[in-house]
Structure 1
């Protein structure tokens, strides 16, 4: 037996958790009991907020696709568990059962997130509905299934999905990898019949699986063409009686070879035997009286017992045959009726019923006539709906198309590839970002902890640090930032790739600068007009020309500021451009932000101490600058003096030093190009 897991990793873990909530919930879903569950649900809502395109502020509806690896066979069940619970008898059966449950290495789960006011819910996969009608301030009493592991998994999957959307990779991944049995499309019925030959028999079957013959289809096709030449007045029946109605029913029953027809001579009794039975007293009125039929039709003689007098061949809500006597549309005149026959999903019975009436000269309107004929000829389409969707009443999946039959293809193993090839598939609808920016606080929701820890452990400061300690340190800091107050701001952080060109080996890294909104607005018209030279041209410039180029570029763009001393609550409110993140790299940008935020430490005390040192240094410099020039020179030292005191001496030849300086200014010029390029995109 599979034990409950606190951390869900593989598809069997997720399915086991879903099974538990399905088993413990009601028909409407599993209601949360614990405060920690509600908080996780609220976190999920915060992560998905950037995808919320609902016009109504009270409502949110977002759907995403998640994935989970199937893992190894033992991640499903051990062999002993499979023997006990799956009743297998061999290792071969053990492996086959596993592959039957998990045929693909990756399993997809569709997740719907709902919010209306305080009501929140998640529908996951085909059977997992978790709901929380209100905030939970304290845990509820009683025995409740704990969905915390599942909600943690959903939260992590939401973060991964939104990261992919931000990076522009989600749509491509889903369109290239989502199995077709989770998609929607249409296949021409004739192609369906080629793939599944018995499908034609099913589509055209009548009673006792007797399919419509080619001769019957030709007769029906001819009658349909003839039907189109009639006017509405041609269908009017005068002096309608119950006796006529039951006689017409017999014609239809006989055409369908009901065995009761030979045994029961009375038309009313035959109707009672085959029809639904809830006739509202139609069988009790005077059979040959048009007046009584009129009174019954207008409700004066009806005896309510279910209101199904016209269900002449019993079936479900969509699988019965209707044969009604109706007033002409827009009229309600006694004695002026028309007959109406319908049974789209009982094609054999309803078509034979129709042919029999018409061959006896009885005028009757046929519902879904064109659709029935198209089915007979195989010229219509069958709708394929996602696995987990009951293939009934799925018209809404095909807007602008006339599709009346639906199917799933998940279990058609041998025919699956043919279905994929012959089906016209709809584009998979994926959620889109509702704004082109996010705050730094929102950005930090999408930290890839493994990548962050890898990068940190490769730095000189943490090279010998324990990985688990580094992980916990950053986890604590990020949790603190998620709870930190965030100031509203219109100022923006801009990321750009830059280079350190001082040494012999050039290092590329992502830098971040703060741009004030007022400055961005002021330079909005100037930035697009800055003339940038391509890198190959920059390589040809002299050091002096590179310096002038660098100076000229920055004269036309707003000034960017360092933000390592910015208070956290202010920095968390800065905006970042999603396009900027996408172009530079999401995790690289996150690392650049975290580097700035923690440059002076990861606690408020560290930050305060460094700010105090900075303030004291600024105050000291201001005091020095107020001194006479001779006194200033005693306190302020040149770069050369500092190098001499530290024992730094550049022993390289003048030519090598000159080349180094030129390389430095070349990479500064390339960085300037990067800054302008990003600002142009952001200011569009």
Structure 2
């Protein structure tokens, strides 16, 4: 299947792709059909792997963003006139801003994996799934999903870079619109902000709102209800005729006009109830025996199992008047149970009418219904894209039964946001304090890497060539074998040079895990001096401080000659990365890895040269001291040979010595601080 070769950049393009999924997929989602699409899903999972905190199945939730772009990235004026009905430039601008009120649009993203099954959910409607690896390509008749999945991979990478850098949480908390958040607002506050909301909450049949008198009566009955005993609800020798008569009482209590149109209770019930009565309307209406046999299932004609749905509605918007056996079926003892939490006006009037006719009936959720009438409860604000029903699980520890979405375009939006108590956002957490170097290299920002490389090497200026060179190397490393290791890389800020030519950069050294563990107990006892204090010390004091600082500190090693598979297995600490800067740390690692070139051949040649030099040095060490002197020279002799003379004044020498030891002390502080941070993790574990 050929790709349409389009890339997704702006929110309108993304929204069009998501609409296409909704229109061309099944109810569950859109099934992929190409190996490339499956590979992209696998790559997304690989990038997100450091967030996998679940045992068994994987589920990761993130927020992605897309810029809205310019108005023509949405639609041209001609397209808007045809599809949106705009008639002027002003209308064109207004309609665009109604679709995209903010410069950046957020998209909820979920990655799910169970064994070979992978699914991604994007936005409010986009679901892409893959049940297994794709072996043979199949054409599905529509444009492929590659552009959308490539955008998703790019966003996954961007989010992971932010998470590792410690910037993701702050960005989401500060910028995620409130219409994508969860919170609660007192109902009485909502009524004040949106006056029409009270009528909506207390509406009955035909939008007939509960009166203050009815609410007062209901409140009295709820209080009275608390004193009833279970046996007070017993109804003996129940018949179908009694049940239908109870229904009429409730219908009349709701002032339903059908009551005048249908004199027969059964016909009235058939007009207003669900209709799937399982044959209840067909038995002998006045026979308690037949009602008992019907209750036991003997006379039932199953056609849906909704005989008690006396006011039909949706899954949560109907009224039920149940008849239940008081103890066991067949004893002739029953009770009435009324329920209709999301039809408050009707169910409350139904209850009042039955009680006023001295018919004992239990009422589900009576306290919640009363709190709704008195506006003493809370309404749950749930994220757009979440249907505002069955959201109780979003409010653990709270009793919230009513839910609402809010929209930025509504006049009341700002007032609702201010009066709502918002939950803390649930944001992803890294599953470990450490990454391997191989995992770390996934999160290279190529633009930053190219800029750093050009800045470090003035003779290089071709960005495209540098980009290609590094991209090739990083792809090689992504497929390179990785040797497991416990050893740790530690990054520190380092100062090099003096005076106006001091260069600050991130350096990296390798530390053996065993040495760090050994040092862990004593490391936290070292007291590091702040830079202001260091600057006030003399050169001698700085020299002594530096010596004390490094007492018993594990040795850090360069690793430019280490095999790549070994380097890829080294650990890096997340906190260390955040303090020193993710991309700076990545560049430090890559500099070490490629110090001897970007190919195995160049690496091998340099290692061979090193091995040869080491062997030569070992042979020299076997000679007598007199013979060794022929091979070694002192630094003073080297300076004389070069003609270098120290013409500085004593004051200049002292000043330079101080700068040297100040630089060493500051760098040492940085290094010990990072070692201490990692050692504290070792102690914790």
TM-score band, normalised by the shorter chain? over 0.9
CA contact (8 A) 1:526 1:557 kept: no
State whether structure 2 residue 547 is matched by structure 1 residue 551: yes
Distance 1:141 1:263 in 2: 59
Q: 3-state SS of the aligned residue for 1:555?
A: coil
Please list, as runs of the form range in 1=range in 2, the aligned pairs for 1:28-427 lying within 5 A after superposition.
Answer: 28-56=28-56, 59-328=57-326, 331-332=328-329, 334-410=331-407, 412-427=409-424
2:238 and 2:291 in contact (8 A); partners too: yes
Structure 1 match to 2:11: 11
Distance 1:541 1:314, change over 3 A: closer
Write the distance in 2 (CA, Å) between the matches of 1:24 and 1:316: 27
Change (3 A) 1:270 1:8: closer
3-state SS of paired residue (1:520): helix
> Could you say if the C-alpha distance between residues 425 and 536 of structure 1 is closer, same or farther in structure 2, counting changes exceeding 3 Å?
closer
Report the Cα distance in structure 1 between the residues aligned to 2:245 and 2:20, rounded to whole angstroms. Answer: 57
Q: Is the 8 A contact 1:503 1:660 kept in 2?
A: no
Indicate which of 666, 678, 682 corresponds to 1:682. Answer: 678
Alpha-carbon distance in 1 for matches of 2:198, 2:309: 26
Q: What residue number does 2:683 align with?
A: none
Secondary structure of 2:482's aligned partner? coil
Does the 8 Å contact 1:5/1:13 carry over to 2? no
8 Å contact from structure 1 (residues 526, 556) kept in 2: no
CA distance in 2, matches of 1:140, 1:380: 54
Deviation at 1:115, TM superposition (A): 0.7
Counterpart contact for 1:527–1:556, Cα < 8 Å: no
Residues 10 and 65 of structure 1: CA distance in aligned 2, closer, same or farther (over 3 Å) = same
Structure 1 range deviating more: 122-131 or 25-34: 25-34
Distance 1:32 1:289 in 2: 60
Query: Per-residue displacement from partner, 1:329-369 (whole Å, max 9, x unpaired)?
Result: x5445211111111112222211111111111111111111
> Per-residue deviation at 1:417?
0.3
Query: Are 1:530 and 1:556, in contact at CA under 8 Å, matched by a contact in 2?
Result: no
Residue in 2 that maps onto 1:526: 522
Q: Is 2:465 the counterpart of 1:469?
A: yes
Q: Is the 8 A contact 1:581 1:589 kept in 2?
A: yes
**Contact 1:523–1:558 (CA under 8 A) maintained in structure 2:** yes
The equivalent of 2:444 in structure 1 is 447
- Partner-residue secondary structure (3-state), 2:179: helix
Q: Where does the alignment leave 5 or more consecutive residues of structure 1 unmatched?
A: none
Q: 1:467 to 1:416 in 2, by over 3 A?
A: same
Indicate if the aligned counterparts of 1:20 and 1:145 stay in contact, CA closer than 8 A: no
Note closer, same or farther for the CA distance 1:484–1:646 as it changes in structure 2 (3 Å cut).
farther
Whole-Å Cα distance in 2 between the matches of residues 98 and 110 of structure 1? 22
Residues 1:430 and 2:430 aligned together:
no
Post-superposition shift, 1:501? 4.2
Contact 1:439 1:575 in 2 (8 A): yes
CA shift for structure 1 position 449 = 1.5
SS at match of 1:89: coil
What does the per-residue CA deviation read over 1:188-241, in whole Å, with 9 as the maximum and x for residues that have no partner?
Answer: 111111122111112111122111111111111111111111111111011211
Distance in structure 2 (CA, Å) of the matches to 1:106 and 1:159: 18
Per-residue CA deviation, residues 463-519 of structure 1 (Å, 9 max, x unaligned), is: 541112112211111111111111000000011112114455322211111001121
Supply the distance in 2 between the matched residues of 1:542 and 1:375 (Cα, whole angstroms).
74
1:455 CA drift (Å): 1.5
- Displacement of 1:376: 1.3
* TM-score where L is the length of structure 1: 0.95
Q: TM-score, normalised by structure 2?
A: 0.95
User: Which moves more between the two structures, 370-379 or 498-507?
Assistant: 498-507
Corresponding residue for residue 625 of structure 1: 621
Deviation at 1:644, TM superposition (A): 4.3
Match of 2:535 in 1: 539
Please identify, of 270-279 and 603-612, the stretch whose mean Cα deviation from structure 2 is larger: 270-279
Q: Deviations over 1:252-300 (max 9, x none)?
A: 1222222232232222222222222222222222222222221121112
- Confirm or deny that 1:561 pairs with 2:554: no
How has the CA–CA distance of structure 1 residues 425 and 540 changed in structure 2, closer, same or farther, with 3 Å as cutoff? closer
Rate the CA distance shift 1:649–1:449 in 2: closer, same or farther, 3 A.
Answer: farther
Q: Does 1:586 align with 2:582?
A: yes
Distance 1:60 1:76 in 2: 35
CA-CA distance at 1:639 after TM superposition: 2.4
Judging changes above 3 Å, is the alpha-carbon distance between structure 1 residues 320 and 232 closer, same or farther for their aligned structure 2 residues? same
- Are residues 1:487 and 2:483 paired? yes
Q: Distance in 1 between matches of 2:142 and 2:635?
A: 70
Partner of 1:24: 24
- Report the Cα offset of residue 540 of structure 1: 4.2
628-637 or 642-651, larger mean C-alpha shift: 642-651
Write the mapping of 1:574-613 to structure 2, written as runs, cut at 5 A: 574-613=570-609
Q: CA deviation at 1:573?
A: 0.4
